[in-house]
Amino acid sequence: MRNPPAPDIPDSRVMYDVPLAPLVTWGVGGVARIMFVPRTENELSSVISWVHSNGTDFFVLGGGSNVLISDAAFEIPVINTARMSAIAVRQSGDTVYMDCLAGTPMKEALSLSLENGWSGLERAAGIPGTVGGAVAGNAGSKTGFIGASVERVVTLEPDGSRAEWSGRDIEWGYRSCPLFDGGKRIAQSVTFRTERSSGDKVARLAAETMRERKSQPVSARTAGCVFKNPSGNSAGKLLDESGCKGISMGGARVSEFHANFIENHSGSARDILSLALLCRKKVLEKFGTYLDFEVKTAGVWEVCPDAGE
C-alpha cells in the first residue's frame, strides 16, 4: 500500500512506477515504485523528513552515472535530484565561490569556470553526473580529486535538519567522502572554491585531464570505471592482463578500449553484474588481487552463478 505524498511537495513532484533504465547511463534497471523529484531545498528537506518518519531507507539518483540498478522493482523511495540545479557565484578578491545545488550537472559547473578563467575544477573535466554525486564519490583523475576544491558541503540529516561541513575538515578518501557512509544523509548543496586565473591556462589544464580519458569508450553505454584502482596498481591494467578485454556475457561486453569499462549492448543489469564478477574472479585468480567496485550497486539482486559468485 502506498504512503501519501510528503507534505509541501506538489503532486507533480511525486511519481509512481517510474522506469529507471532511461535515467541511468548504463540504460538498465527496473521500476521505482515511488520517486520524489524535488526542485528546491525546502522540498528536499520535506522529502527526507517524510522518508525517515515512515521508517524506510531511500536511494538518491542524480545524473545516473556510476550506478548499477538491478532489474527488479525498486521498492524503497527514490529521490531524484536532477531538477535541483542552480549555481550562484560569490567573489572575495581573487577567490570565486560557486554555490551549486546538489543536482547541478558537473559539466555545467566546469563550463562556467572555464568561461570565466576560474581555476580549481579542471580535474572535473569529463566527469559525468551531478555535483552531489561527484562529491559523494570524490570523483577525479590523475590530476587530482574534486574534494580538494570543496569549500563547503551542506547536507540534510535523517531528521530533515540542515548541517554544514567545511571541505577542509573532511577526511576525503579515494573515491569516497565519509559524510555519506551509511546512506542516511544527503547532499543539499556544495560550494566550490576557485581562483581567478588565465582562461588559456585553465582550458589547457582541463584539456590535459581530458587527454587522460582518451582511452575510455565515449560512444557506448557505460557508467565510468567499474572497479577502483588497488593501491599502487591500475585496475584497468590488471583486467587487461587477465584477458578481460572484449569478453561478453549476454548483452554486456568489456570495452576493447579500456578493460575497466563495461559496455551495455542491449543487455540487462544481471548481464553487467555477472560480467563484472567474472572479471573480478579472473584478476583474483591471476594476480591474487581483489578488486573493489567503484560503481554503486542498488536494488535487489539474484545470485549470479554463471560468474562463479
Do 73 and 17 lie in one domain? The reply is: yes
Catalytic residue, candidates 177, 225, 244, 279: 225
> What pLDDT tens digit does each residue of the chain (309 aa) get?
355 555 567 888 999 999 999 999 999 999 999 999 999 999 998 898 888 888 888 999 999 999 999 999 999 999 999 999 999 999 999 999 999 999 999 999 999 999 999 999 988 888 888 999 999 999 887 778 899 999 999 999 887 789 999 999 999 998 889 999 877 889 999 999 999 987 788 888 888 777 766 667 767 899 989 999 999 899 999 999 999 999 999 999 999 999 999 999 998 999 999 999 999 999 999 999 999 999 999 998 875 544 444
Tally of domains within the chain: 3
Do 61 and 92 lie in one domain? The reply is: no
The residues pairing with 101 across neighbouring beta strands, listed in sequence order, are: 189
- Asked if residue 23 belongs to a domain, the reply is yes
Q: What pLDDT sits at residue 213? A: 65
Catalytic residue, candidates 13, 123, 175, 221: 175
Cα distance between residue 42 and residue 65, in whole Å: 25
Residue 225 a catalytic site member: yes
Do 112 and 33 lie in one domain? The reply is: no
Residue 244 a catalytic site member: no
Q: What pLDDT sits at residue 122? A: 86
Q: What pLDDT sits at residue 49? A: 86
Domain ranges, residue 69: 11-80
Q: What pLDDT sits at residue 59? A: 93
Q: Residue 242 in contact with residue 282, Cβ under 8 Å?
A: yes
Domain boundary among 212, 227, 259: 212
Residue 175 a catalytic site member: yes
- Asked if residue 307 belongs to a domain, the reply is no
Q: Rounded to a whole number, what is the distance in angstroms from the first to the last CA of the chain?
A: 35
Domain with residue 278: its CATH number is 3.90.78.10
Q: What pLDDT sits at residue 306? A: 44
Report which of 149, 162, 143, 68 is spatially closest to residue 106, judged by C-alpha positions.
Answer: 149
Those residues whose C-beta lies under 8 Å from the C-beta of residue 14, and which sit 6 or more positions away, are 5, 6, 34, 35, 36, 37
Do 122 and 199 lie in one domain? The reply is: yes
